[in-house]
Chains A and B, each alone.
Chain A
Amino acid sequence: MIEHDDTISGRIFDRRILRRILPFARPHMRLFGGATALLFVLFAVEISIPGLWRRLIDGLGDAHSKAATSGTPPLQSALEAIAPYVGVFVAAVIAIGFFRYLQEVCLARGGQEVIYDLRKSLFAHLMRQPLQFYDRQSVGRLVTRVTNDVENVSELFTSGLATVVYDVLKVVGVAALLIARDWRLGCVAVGLAPLLALVSLWFRRHARDGFREVRSWLGKSNGFLQEAIAGIRVVQVFGKEEKVARKFQGITAGYLAANIKTVFYFAIFFPLVEGAIALDQSGVLFMGAQGVESARLTRGMFLEFWFYLEFLFNPLRELGEKYNVLQSAMASAERIFRLLDEQPAIQTPADAAAPTRIRGEIELRDVHFSYDGKTPVLKGLSLRVAPGETLALVGATGAGKTTIASLLGRFYEVSQGAVLVDGVDVRRHDLKNLRSSIGFVPQELFLFAGTVFENLALWRPEVTRDRAKEALRIVGAAPFVERLAPPGTAADRALDAGLDAPVAERGVTFSVGERQLLAFARALAAEPAMVILDEATANVDTETEERIQSGIRALLRGRTSIVIAHRLSTVREATRIAVLHRGELRELGSHDELLRRNGLYATLVALQFGEEAAASAVSRAQAAARSES
């Protein structure tokens, strides 16, 4: 499942990948089509310039002799003679600048649009993946996919497809033109050109390998640096600065050697390219001189030919570099599509029960679960929660409390046993219906930029403004939301206006207590049949504590609820308390029953709920024990 970069084929043209990329390009076809069309125009204009030199040279020779006989001042007649050529040249230069700008912008804009869309759908796809998917993937790798790899794909468009078209056009067009002009000269020029392509491709291979080696050494060097700085205390404590520095020098030496290897290829590449070009030019000079001598060619034609050669050389010189860019873009695209091919493992089954209103009866039947398939987290847990009942879960960290909440929302699949809601296995429920019938209240409310109302509604269409206001009133959050309204708002409209107050990112402007109340309102707004409350552990003042407690009471009233309890008052009010220890149910009963049993729960109460509660619990327990005996 976890892909490795090495398994990517690295083909330069993979039809399968191109076919999949195409739908992303289609909506922006006007940009790409325009950019490609502009390339043809650009080519036509650029290729006209050498012709101007020919005309200037060949045409002016005659004009000069004519002017000499007519008697006009030489400079004036010179200006008259060259004016048309210069005019065309000026037009050409302006056109080239204009079209080149337009072309570049169209193409790059198209590329940006495509990667924006691709990024969006990749991210949305990742968001649909279940938690198991994230357990397997490293966050860093996923971030690289949505940033660097998507970025790389844009190269397919900018230095890829359109540029390839242009380069092919240039090479083929100019080659045809050269041969058409003078087949002997053309054949020599075109015949010697593959030498340049060979040099370029030879360099490509070595440069790529060389760069890989450099990158790998650089990675090692940076990794060592990172580790040595992180561990600098150990290094200094043992006084081993010199020893570690020597090791670093060893890595630097490797890095240097790899670098020097690539310097060699670069140093030899440029002279080779120029040598290949010089060879081609010599051939052209040789044949051209013969042509001029035999009057088959004029000197202007020869010079035109010579200037054309640049059109042939440039794309070939850059062939190797473009090849590498395209190859890496293809590899990135392949990695992205592999991710897009991952199907969400947790989905509503085809034969799911029709989404009906859920009453909220919960049953865990011999549930076994493990996150990694090795370490068991729940070991054969069975529990029933009747509709409307409040069950408190207590136990040390790692007892499996939060896992139960996750399994109920089917964020993970049980490895054995079953979780049933209203007597139906959660695996047979409509997933959306199931999750939206549960109100999750986390320890820490996650707020995002937007208004108060948006934060309460979370895009659930059933949460109307009236419902949101109602929920705020019920949990007792209305007073402080009213205070968010702009000053001068009429009292009866204050709550409504408060709903539209902006929430800063992560809700820094709210106090701990306010955040709790908002979290309650958010869960309550959708009128869920079930509530899962993970109580916050933060210490708050007595007044806030009371507000929170009454908020909790309002939230839980009449709903099946599971509370991961951290407060004594909450456990006391629960219908029943389940004491978990290492994935097993140890004790079950009401607060008083369990205290009387003087077992694990009594210990937990003693530890978790402070000295005072412990003392009273123990003395009560002992009093009870004495009265029994």
Chain B
Amino acid sequence: MGARSGPCQLPTARLLCPFLRAPHQVNVFRRYLAYFAREKRRLLIGFLCLVPSAFIDLQLPWVVRGALDKLGTEPVESFLLPTLALYLGLAALKGVFRFGMRWFLVTSSRQVEANLRNDLFAHLESLSFPYFNRTKTGDLISRATQDVEAVRMFLGPGSMYIGDALLRIPMALILLSQVQPAMLVAIGISLAVLSVSVRKLTPKLHAVSEAQQKAVGAMSDRANEVFGGVRVVKSFAREEAAERSFDEVSARYRSVSLDAISARALSNVFFSGAKDVTLLILFATGGVFYYLGKATVGDLYLFADYTVRLYWPVFVVGWMVGMYPRARAAAQRLNEVFDTKPEIVDSPRASAPAEIRGAIEAKNLTFSYAPDRPPVLKNLSFKIAPGETVALVGRTGSGKSTLAMLLGRFFPVPPGMLFVDGADVNDLAIRSLRGAIGYVPQDHFLFSDTIAENIAFSENGPADAQRVARAAADACIEDDVSVFPKRFETEIGERGVTLSGGQRQRVSIARALYSDPRILVLDDCLSAVDSSTEERLLGQLQDAARGRTTLLIAHRLSTVKHAHRILLLEDGGVVEEGSHGELLARKGRYAQLWQRQQLEERLAHDGEPLQAETAVARNGSADP
């Protein structure tokens, strides 16, 4: 908390201290306050409604007090009907203002929330791949939802309640001091104690709730584990053990909950007890003043009513101050995201060529994902001419996909090592570079949308049906789509049909083809496509290429045998290079891989017995 400065010594000032404290702490919220500033018209109207609503609210008991004091001394006819009319009239007026207050203030905070969500999303989208590799999706989601909500609650409705309280409490104090200052002091002290204790208790209550949440989390983790692994549980007759282990977390939850119950019940007693005690103090002091003829029945009523009316504002001040650390933490977490700068941006001398032809060159390309990690690519050099189809093959981890990612500059590329059309990729505008590359990633991620929307993903406006159909035909997905009643308008994903792995891969290929890119990168995207379809698809790609540079990354060698050139990567460097025929003839690594895969494929596809000569061929020269 740090050393407290002068004004914070006073009890009321101390309550508000977190808001008044050193400016660098308030800065945490500066970004969000700016969002509220954009809603200033609505906020202004809202606060303009708040003032009269608070004022009228405090007038209502005065009307009743007046009637009570007149009762018995003046004839009813002289005051009753005007009093009633005033009471109802004021109540109605207050209702109108309260509506206005809530409507304008809360809707503006909702608007802020919406803007904040949108901006956060847009910001996230601008961040680079390395950021997403470091950050868990779940974390980002909880920031975008829970933290935004916590900040909104604190600055939105929170400031409404605080504003209301800060207006109403002094107003009430001024009004009551005209009646009986001594009684006012008595209840004032009592309510101040309430506010301070609420502030103290709020973090504790929050801590028990959090402990409870954690215990629930542990319980659902355990249930998840058991239900997810139910096969193991069953085959070992381990049901009882599972029950026991679940019982453990369930019992822990019970005991945490019982603690929370006690804590909550105790503080509830305290909170509502504070009101009762205040009324008691009022009862005693008011009784004395009444006895002495210094207070009327109406005065007693007025004080009792104000005690109840002030209870909530006083409570809220303490509560909000208690909540402050949480809101600040949420704001800080959000700030972290907002303050993260995209790692990959256009360099100042970036050029945007009118057309990219598709020549690719690597010169001693060396790359590692982090300075302390071993390089994934080591002194890799190659040259690809526009229109050439080049295949990259090699084991998992040999650096094929990394190379593909570097081409689109999705990770920071060391300068002077990778060139497109002779220009360092770092000197090309990201938009033109990426726009020229049609990329089919390994994980063939599709959105829960229609097939047409997925294929025409690169289109800003509505999907062009003709181009969708052509891309689908080239990617050999058209026949599959024509089976669906709604054809290209079929929804895929959670709410729609489930596509097979091969179908997803081909939709993903169609998506890359839609924009007719100059460079096409296929990252091992045919693994789930059967061989005959694959053959047809590769043939069509070749026909439709029209001078397109194609980078074909594959695990299955049958995929790459028609490529103009094949680069065999191992440990981040090229170990063999040449056409399929040349490489087979060399009888090196590639030839070995080829034989082994042929063997596997035959077994998997038809389970046909192995011919002895094939088996021998895989050993190179063991011909008897």
Residues of A whose CB lies within 8 Å of any CB of B are: 49, 52-53, 56-57, 60, 63-64, 74-75, 77-79, 81-82, 85-86, 89-90, 93, 96-97, 100-101, 104-105, 108-109, 112-113, 116, 119-120, 123-124, 126-128, 130-131, 134, 137, 139-140, 142-143, 146-147, 151, 218, 221-223, 225-245, 248-249, 252-253, 255-256, 259-260, 263-264, 266-268, 270-272, 274-275, 278-279, 281-282, 285-286, 289-290, 292-293, 299-300, 302-303, 306-307, 396, 405-406, 409, 411, 435-436, 440, 442, 446, 448-449, 458-459, 581-582, 586, 598-600, 602-604, 606-607, 611, 614-615, 618-619, 621-622, 625
A139 to B221, CA, bound (A): 11
Q: Give the distance to chain B from A208, nearest Cβ to Cβ, in Å.
A: 19
Q: Does B531 contact A (CB under 8 A)?
A: no
Among B68, B98, B220, B441, the residue within 8 A (CB) of A234 is: B441
Among A56, A93, A147, A226, the residue within 8 A (CB) of B290 is: A56
Task: Verify A230–B137 contact, CB threshold 8 A.
Answer: yes
In the complex where A260-B110, A267-B106, A440-B236 touch, is A274 in contact with B91 (Cβ < 8 A)?
Answer: yes
Task: Verify A263–B110 contact, CB threshold 8 A.
Answer: yes
Chain A, interface SS category: helix
Q: Give the distance to chain A from B405, nearest Cβ to Cβ, in Å.
A: 9
Task: Verify B607–A105 contact, CB threshold 8 A.
Answer: no
Q: Does B94 contact A (CB under 8 A)?
A: yes
Q: Does B228 contact A (CB under 8 A)?
A: yes
Among A81, A142, A252, A442, the residue within 8 A (CB) of B232 is: A442
* Closest 8 pairs between A and B when the two form their complex, measured CB to CB: A271-B95, A278-B91, A267-B102, A82-B287, A78-B291, A603-B610, A127-B239, A104-B265
Output the nearest chain A residue to B517 by Cβ-Cβ distance: A238
Task: Verify B273–A63 contact, CB threshold 8 A.
Answer: no
Q: Choose among B118, B279, B437 the residue with the greatest number of A CB atoms under 10 Å from its CB.
A: B118
CB contacts (< 8 Å) of B228 on chain A: these are 139
Q: Give the distance to chain A from B263, nearest Cβ to Cβ, in Å.
A: 10
Task: Verify B114–A256 contact, CB threshold 8 A.
Answer: yes
Q: Give the distance to chain B from A220, nearest Cβ to Cβ, in Å.
A: 10
User: Using a Cβ–Cβ cut-off of 8 Å, how many residues does chain B contribute to the interface with A?
Assistant: 129
CB contacts (< 8 Å) of A263 on chain B: these are 102-103, 106-107, 110
Task: Verify A245–B118 contact, CB threshold 8 A.
Answer: yes
Task: Verify A131–B103 contact, CB threshold 8 A.
Answer: no
CB contacts (< 8 Å) of A234 on chain B: these are 441, 445, 457
CB contacts (< 8 Å) of B132 on chain A: these are 229, 232-233
Interface 0/1 of B264-281, CB less than 8 Å to A: 111011001100110110
CB contacts (< 8 Å) of B121 on chain A: these are 225, 228, 245, 248
Among B103, B129, B246, the residue within 8 A (CB) of A236 is: B129
For window 63-112 of B, CB contacts with A under 8 Å fall at 64, 67-68, 71-72, 75-76, 80, 83-84, 87-88, 91-92, 94-96, 98-99, 102-103, 106-107, 110-111
Task: Verify A409–B235 contact, CB threshold 8 A.
Answer: yes
Q: Does B300 contact A (CB under 8 A)?
A: yes
25 pairs of residues in contact across A and B, judged by CB atoms under 8 Å: A57-B290, A86-B287, A89-B284, A96-B276, A101-B269, A105-B261, A134-B227, A139-B227, A146-B223, A147-B219, A226-B141, A230-B137, A235-B125, A237-B437, A238-B434, A245-B122, A249-B118, A256-B110, A263-B102, A271-B96, A272-B95, A289-B71, A292-B72, A446-B236, A582-B607
Q: Does B435 contact A (CB under 8 A)?
A: yes
A93 to B612, CA, bound (A): 97
Output the nearest chain A residue to B493 by Cβ-Cβ distance: A227
Among B292, B458, B624, the residue within 8 A (CB) of A240 is: B458
Please name 18 further chain A to chain B contacts, defined as beta carbons within 8 Å, in addition to the given A60-B287, A146-B219, A618-B615, sorted by A numbering.
Answer: A93-B273, A93-B277, A104-B264, A120-B250, A127-B243, A134-B231, A227-B447, A227-B448, A229-B132, A229-B140, A230-B137, A243-B457, A249-B118, A256-B110, A293-B76, A586-B607, A602-B609, A604-B603
CB contacts (< 8 Å) of B246 on chain A: these are 123, 146
Task: Verify A120–B247 contact, CB threshold 8 A.
Answer: yes
A231 to B508, CA, bound (A): 12
A231 to B118, CA, bound (A): 17
CB contacts (< 8 Å) of B250 on chain A: these are 116, 119-120, 123
For window 600-624 of B, CB contacts with A under 8 Å fall at 600, 603-604, 607, 609-610, 612, 615-616, 619, 622, 624
Q: Give the distance to chain A from B215, nearest Cβ to Cβ, in Å.
A: 10
CB contacts (< 8 Å) of A134 on chain B: these are 227, 230-231
Q: Does B35 contact A (CB under 8 A)?
A: no
Task: Verify A621–B612 contact, CB threshold 8 A.
Answer: yes
Task: Verify B95–A274 contact, CB threshold 8 A.
Answer: yes
